Amino acid sequence: MLNKKYKPVIGLEIHAELNTKTKMFCDSPNNPNETRPNTNVCPICMAYPGTLPVINLEAVKKTVKVGLALGSKINELSWFERKNYFYPDLPKGYQISQFEKPFCEGGTLKLSGGKSVRITRVHLEEDTGRLVHEPEARNPKSEIRKSYVDFNRAGVSLMELVTEPDIETGKEAKEFGEELQLLLRYLGASEADMEKGEMRVEANISLSAIAEGAEQTRTDAEKSSASSALNQRKSAVLGTKVEIKNLNSFKACERAIDYEIARQGKILEGGEKVIQETRGWNENKSETFSQRTKEESHDYRYFPEPDLPPVRLAEAEIEALRAEIPELPAERRARFVKEYSITEKDSDIFTSNRDLGNYFEKVASELDDWANTQINADLNRRGSARIDQRKSAIKLAANYLITEIQKLLAESGQSVADLKISPEDFSELIVLIFKNTISSSAAQTILREMFETGADPNHVMESKNLSQMSDQSELKRSAQEIIAQNSQAVADYKKGKSESLKFLVGQLMRATKGRANPQVSEEILKELLK
């Protein structure tokens, strides 16, 4: 456990490849699914002498939309710069990026617990190529591992987001990354698939020495407020920053940060100094490892890109992009809870799985129509009762989608887009369950057939004779037979053993092949056993 004398201070740099049709400064296709190396390349992205880059305006628009969604200030005048460094996967010997005047500055992204993480900047640049290493040699002494460069990714539009050091744990970093990924997908800016390298996280971590007495002087309210981290940093001595590069999963991000916090803590508590450096993450060993000393901005020798003009964005253009922003994840979560009276947990699932959430909304709309017609017509409900019935039916639908449908999809390896069940038919199934027309076990049977064939739930119910028995006279005859066949259970019940009644209900359900209404069955048995 970290000594209370130190406090983690964490900032993130997140890169996301934008889903533009072509690369950032040329017409080469941007296809993350291309498996043939060095296929999507051209003289411009390969840095042939005499070639000139041209700005991809679609990438600019997507970056600005991200900034607007985060509440960033959009600079009406921006420009690109050359960031000079030398890697084998960088064909130019420099990267076209932004430094002095990015497209977006400031903004925030709120986490689920209410904490807001401040955004420093969002800028646009080009991606590098990809190094491909041969597997480790069986005999390292005699065999040489070769490395290759695939330039398909070189020049792809790459958005970089930098946060303020507001994050305090690996868990918060993971949550920030997941929320940003969701935001990018809602905006249509990037798929941000970490397995494909479309989103990469880098974490800057240091431990601040907390000034003596700083913790005691803060009130309980300050400790729980969103600004408490900032307040505490003002009372702290900032530590040496270490960067962890190219974290390619949110789980790895959380584990690497937590490991690094513990590592730096041990160093400081041992009276030694943390070295400013860049480190990698070894997933197999669950530890970070040193890569190189950390560069500073001046090491990159930034200067304005001479082959590209400045980018001017008129206020009208910015407002037009703002008007294109759809409902964002945080807004959707809140709306689902308010509009459908579902739990925050369920709302989060429907927000994270956008397709499932869209399907749920279509089902809810069908149940709305049912509530407006069937309930009033068949049950003569008043308005308040109709609302209660609507809420209950929608909650039931949400539960079946989250549990049963997702289970069936996982078993079959399918997605929501593959569902053969129409929202109309699914809502019909929910109505059958809600009105006790079918039992829960019958619902499982019907749902599976609907999933496999797309069949109508009423047709399946009728063809398999799965409708629930609620007829009093029919159930009474069956109950009398059960009582006659189970004299010991009857005697035990009359002696006060309530479990015996459940046994008799189970026997009745068994005798009717699960069609007996359990509530009605229990009432009939109680009446007969008086």
259 and 383 housed in the same domain: no
455 and 478 housed in the same domain: no
Single-letter amino acid code for the residue at 232: Q
- Rounded to 5 degrees, φ, ψ at 191 are -75, -25
345 and 494 housed in the same domain: no
Q: What is the pTM of this model?
A: 0.83
Token pair for 303: 């200067």
Q: How many domains does the chain have?
A: 3
pLDDT tens per residue across span 46-90 = 999 999 999 999 999 999 999 999 999 999 999 999 999 888 999
187 and 275 housed in the same domain: yes
106 and 179 housed in the same domain: yes
Nearest to 385 by CA among 372, 366, 398: 372
344 and 199 housed in the same domain: no
Name the percent of the chain in helix, strand, coil, to the closest 5. 45, 20, 35
- Rounded to 5 degrees, φ, ψ at 371 are -65, -35
Sign (positive or negative) of CA dihedral 14, 20, 24, 28: positive
Nearest to 1 by CA among 265, 202, 197: 265
Does residue 123 belong to any structural domain of this protein? yes
167 and 33 housed in the same domain: yes
Task: Please list the pLDDT of the chain residue by residue as tens digits (530 residues).
Answer: 555 788 999 999 999 999 999 999 999 999 999 999 999 999 999 999 999 999 999 999 999 999 999 999 999 999 999 999 888 999 999 999 999 999 999 999 999 888 999 999 999 999 999 999 887 655 566 567 788 999 999 999 999 999 999 999 999 999 999 999 999 999 999 999 999 999 999 999 999 988 654 444 444 444 444 444 444 444 446 789 999 998 999 999 999 999 999 999 999 999 999 999 999 999 999 999 999 876 666 678 999 999 999 999 999 999 999 999 999 999 999 999 999 999 999 999 999 999 999 999 999 999 998 888 765 555 554 445 556 788 999 999 999 999 999 999 999 999 999 999 999 999 999 999 998 888 888 899 999 999 999 999 999 999 988 887 766 777 788 888 888 899 898 888 888 888 888 898 888 878 877 777 777 778 888 888 88
Residue 445 CA, chain-centre distance (Å), reads 31
How far is the C-alpha of 458 from the C-alpha of 427, rounded, in Å? 11
pLDDT tens per residue across span 305-334 = 999 999 999 999 999 999 999 999 999 999
86 and 226 housed in the same domain: yes
How far is the C-alpha of 194 from the C-alpha of 207, rounded, in Å? 28
114 and 28 housed in the same domain: yes
- Interstrand relation of 6-17 and 199-210 (parallel, antiparallel or unpaired): antiparallel
Reduced to 3 states (helix: H, G, I; strand: E, B; else coil), residue 382 is coil
Does residue 173 belong to any structural domain of this protein? yes
Does residue 423 belong to any structural domain of this protein? no
Query: Of the candidates 267, 290, 323, which is a domain's last residue?
Result: 323
Query: Of the candidates 267, 301, 323, which is a domain's last residue?
Result: 323
295 and 262 housed in the same domain: yes
Residue 512 lies in domain: 472-528
Residue 300: how many CB atoms within 10 A of its CB?
17
456 and 480 housed in the same domain: no
Does residue 421 belong to any structural domain of this protein? no
319 and 343 housed in the same domain: no
Does residue 434 belong to any structural domain of this protein? no
Does residue 275 belong to any structural domain of this protein? yes
Does residue 303 belong to any structural domain of this protein? yes
Single-letter amino acid code for the residue at 103: F
Could you tell me the CATH number of the domain that includes residue 514? Answer: 1.10.10.410
